[in-house]
Amino acid sequence: MRRRRLVAQLFPSYLMIAALALLAVTWYVGRAWRASFLAQTATDLKVRADLVIPQFQGLLSPLQAGEVDRVCKELGRLSATRLTVILSSGRVVGDSDNEPAKMDNHGDRPEVRQALKGKIGVSTRHSYTEETPMMYVAAPLMEQDRVAAVVRASLPVAFIGRTLNGIYFKIALGGMGAALLAALLSLAMAHRLSRPLEEMKRVAQRFAQGDLRVKVPVPLSDEPASLAEALNYMAEQLDQRIRTITRQRQEQDAVLASMVEGVMAVDHQERIITLNQAGARLLGVDPDAARQRPIAEVVRHPDLQNFVDLALASPRQVEGEIIFRDAAPDRLLQIRGTPLRDAQGNAFGALIVLNDVTRLRRLEQARRDFVANVSHELKTPITSIKGFVETLLDGAIQEPDNAVNFLNIIARHADRLNAIIDDLLSLSRIEQDSDRGKIALAAGHIKEVLRKAVQACRERAAAKDIAIDLDCPEELATEINAPLLEQAVVNLIDNAVKYSPAGRPVRVEARVETGEVLILVKDQGSGIAPEHLSRLFERFYRVDPGRSRKVGGTGLGLAIVKHIAQAHGGYVTLQSAPGKGSTFFIHLPQV
Residues that bind ligand ADP (CB under 6 A): 495-496, 499, 523, 525-526, 528, 536, 541-544, 548, 553-559, 582
> In the complex with ligand ADP, which residue's Cβ is closer, 207 or 541?
541
> In the complex with ligand ADP, which residue's Cβ is closer, 155 or 497?
497
Distance CA 338, CA 287 (A): 21
> In the complex with ligand ADP, which residue's Cβ is closer, 135 or 453?
453
Residue 546 parent element (H or E): helix 545-550
Residue 575 parent element (H or E): strand 571-576
> In the complex with ligand ADP, which residue's Cβ is closer, 161 or 501?
501
User: Closest approach of Cβ 497 to ligand ADP, in Å?
Assistant: 8
User: Closest approach of Cβ 525 to ligand ADP, in Å?
Assistant: 5
> In the complex with ligand ADP, which residue's Cβ is closer, 124 or 373?
373
User: Closest approach of Cβ 419 to ligand ADP, in Å?
Assistant: 9
**How many other C-beta atoms are found inside a 10 Å radius of the C-beta of residue 229?**
12
> In the complex with ligand ADP, which residue's Cβ is closer, 96 or 495?
495
Residue type at 12 in one-letter notation: P
**Strand pairing report for 516-522 and 506-513:** antiparallel
User: Closest approach of Cβ 495 to ligand ADP, in Å?
Assistant: 3
Q: In angstroms, how far is the first alpha carbon of the chain from the final one?
A: 85
User: Closest approach of Cβ 409 to ligand ADP, in Å?
Assistant: 20
Q: State whether residue 83 is helix, strand or coil.
A: strand
Phi-psi region of 262 (alpha: psi -120 to 50; beta: other; left: phi over 0): beta
Distance CA 264, CA 350 (A): 8
User: Closest approach of Cβ 467 to ligand ADP, in Å?
Assistant: 16
Distance CA 305, CA 282 (A): 15
User: Closest approach of Cβ 545 to ligand ADP, in Å?
Assistant: 7
> In the complex with ligand ADP, which residue's Cβ is closer, 479 or 544?
544
Phi, psi of 131 (to 5 degrees): 60, 35
Q: Which of 39, 76, 27, 42 is nearest to 56 (CA)?
A: 76
> In the complex with ligand ADP, which residue's Cβ is closer, 441 or 556?
556
User: Closest approach of Cβ 537 to ligand ADP, in Å?
Assistant: 7
User: Closest approach of Cβ 423 to ligand ADP, in Å?
Assistant: 8
User: Closest approach of Cβ 408 to ligand ADP, in Å?
Assistant: 22
> In the complex with ligand ADP, which residue's Cβ is closer, 280 or 518?
518
Contact yes or no for 140/112 (Cβ under 8 A): no
User: Closest approach of Cβ 418 to ligand ADP, in Å?
Assistant: 14
What is the number of residues in the chain?
A: 591
Distance CA 553, CA 500 (A): 14
Distance CA 165, CA 31 (A): 12
Exposure class string for 436-457: b at 16+ Cβ within 10 A, else e: eeebebeeebbbbbbeebbeeb
> In the complex with ligand ADP, which residue's Cβ is closer, 368 or 535?
535
Contact yes or no for 96/84 (Cβ under 8 A): yes
Question: What's the DSSP call for residue 330?
Answer: P
Burial class (CB in 10 A: 0-12, 13-18, 19+), 475: exposed
Question: Got the DSSP string for 511-544?
Answer: EEETTEEEEEEE--S----HHHHTTTTSTT--SS
> In the complex with ligand ADP, which residue's Cβ is closer, 207 or 499?
499
